[in-house]
Amino acid sequence: MQPSVSPWMNTMNRCLLATLIAAPVLAAFPCAAQNAVPAVQTIATAPHPGHRNFPSTVEFGVLRIDQIPNAQINGQAIRTAPGFRLFSADNKLIFAHTVQSQALKVAYVKEASTQWLLTAWILTPEELATFSAKR
């Protein structure tokens, strides 16, 4: 039986030839992209610690999560939306079951069509004082 000489069966022979030719050519030129410094460097401003921007439709109240998807806001029963998000006082996403049966002072947003609870933010004492003074 004769050995196969098909370039499709032994593809590495073609790659070896390209490597032997291309490697010395590429090594001779330094990469300009590695040495370039951007002309303008921008500094992203971080938000003020403890300052959170709430949507214009935000409401305030006391949230008590009974058992997902059931909850209460100011004693009124409400259902949580399937994509419900609960943010802690330091703006980290937390699982709702970890604060089950606790009375939490929150800012919250309801879903427009179903009026289910969509997002809630647990308020810090500073935010609580700010928003209760505005009411």
Mean pLDDT of 88-113: 94
Q: Within a domain: residue 105? A: yes
What is the distance in angstroms between the CA of the first residue and the CA of the last residue of the chain?
92
Q: Within a domain: residue 125? A: yes
Q: Within a domain: residue 72? A: yes
**Using 50, 70 and 90 to split pLDDT, how confident is the model at 131?**
confident
What φ, ψ does residue 48 adopt, rounded to 5°?
Answer: -60, 135
Q: Within a domain: residue 42? A: no
Angle at 86 between CA 110 and CA 64, to 5 degrees: 75
**Lowest mean pLDDT: which of 26-30, 35-39, 62-66, 78-82?**
35-39
Predicted local confidence at residue 132, as pLDDT: 74
How many separate domains does the chain show?
Answer: 1
Q: Within a domain: residue 51? A: no
Q: Within a domain: residue 103? A: yes
Write out pLDDT tens, residues 1-47.
666 676 676 666 666 656 667 667 666 666 555 555 555 554 544 45
Q: Within a domain: residue 30? A: no
